[in-house]
Amino acid sequence: MNNEQSRVFSLDLGNSTCRIGLFEQGRITQERFVSTSSFAKNPDDLLGPIVSCPEPLAYCSVSTLAESALKEWSSRSGTKSFNVTNDSYGNFPISYPSPDEIGQDRIANAFATHRTSELPAIVIDVGTATTFDVVGKEEGYMGGVIAPGPQGFLDFLHQNTALLPKVRIGDKMPSNPIGKKTTDAMLLGIHLGFGPMVKGILNELSDELLKTSENKPKVILAGGASFHLELPDSEHRPLLTLEGIGLAYLENTTPRNPNEF
């Protein structure tokens, strides 16, 4: 398979954000995004420009609302779309006992990592949820951990208490670690607590992998919010999910040399 001669639009329908990019020559270009709520109301805002393009459209989804909007748009526009699921990843191994339970975005991340990175690896994707996915050379997708994303912690406090306000992760962070008002105290809870939580989970996963591997696992940070993390010896690949969708589509639909992979 010659990926450098192939192009496909990769679409990631997430819980909070829907993102599209053109996968070509092994990377994502022309990346754009809208909120999931906006996409559900008007998919044309994101997808309209690709109607007249010859490239195919492949997607993964964790949002039933956004996926319904995509299917309606596809029917209306006459644009076919290919859903990348746990059943459409070529010969990518999945050792997880219940593949149907794995989020499509998590498998896309693992697939891209398996095909392009040193192994074993741990992918940390920071979004609405923070997912940790373990990828081995022979095992492929092995499993992982799910925790709330930074905004999820703040939303929980607001939604489940009577007096705590709505706070956004992008609000100005206080310089003093002793909060002097409620919003500062909430932001400090994330700023001071989220990183140690991630490092604690990562250490446990790394220690487990080292029981059966001589190599320290590669750490890959995915998702737009991953830049809030400071982890030594990690690699930032914010568009990893889109890369995985593109790679999986091409491997699934292009005749493959049996000597590859």
Q: Residue 78 is part of which domain span?
A: 3-149+192-253
The runs of H, that is alpha helices, within 123-227 are 150-159, 182-209
What's the pLDDT band for 170 if we cut at 50, 70, 90?
confident
Residue 83 belongs to a domain: yes
Task: Report the CATH number that the domain containing residue 81 is assigned in CATH.
Answer: 3.30.420.40
Residues 217-237 have pLDDT tens digits of: 999 999 866 666 778 889 999
Whether residue 232 has a cis bond before it, omega within 30° of 0: no
Residue 154 belongs to a domain: no
Q: In what order do the strands lie in the sheet with 121-126?
A: 140-148, 129-136, 121-126, 218-222, 234-236
Helices (H) and strands (E) in the chain, counts: 7, 10
Distance CA 86, CA 97 (A): 12
Coil, helix or strand for 61?
strand
Tell me the CA end-to-end span of the chain in Å, nearest whole number.
10
Q: Give the pLDDT of residue 4.
A: 42
Residues 242-261 have pLDDT tens digits of: 999 999 999 888 655 544 44
For residue 153, count other CB atoms closer than 10 A to its CB: 19
Residues 46-93 have pLDDT tens digits of: 999 998 899 999 999 999 999 999 999 999 999 989 998 888 887 899
Residues 114-152 have pLDDT tens digits of: 999 999 999 999 988 999 999 999 999 999 999 998 989
Structure tokens at 78: 């006459």
Q: Give the pLDDT of residue 97.
A: 94
Residue 160 belongs to a domain: no
Strands 81-83 and 57-61: parallel
Residue 199 belongs to a domain: yes
Residue 94 belongs to a domain: yes
Residue 166 belongs to a domain: no
Q: Give the pLDDT of residue 43.
A: 96
Residue 180 belongs to a domain: no
Residue 106 belongs to a domain: yes
Residue 237 is classified by DSSP as -
Q: 223: exposed, middle or buried (C-beta count within 10 Å: 0-12, 13-18, 19+)? A: buried
From the list 44, 45, 87, 105, the catalytic residue is 105
Best CA proximity match to 217, nearest among 226, 228, 207: 207
What's the pLDDT band for 207 if we cut at 50, 70, 90?
very high
Domain tally for the chain? Answer: 1
Q: Give the pLDDT of residue 1.
A: 42
Concerning whether 105 is annotated as a catalytic residue, the answer is yes
The one-letter code for the residue type at 190 is I
Determine if the pTM surpasses 0.85: yes
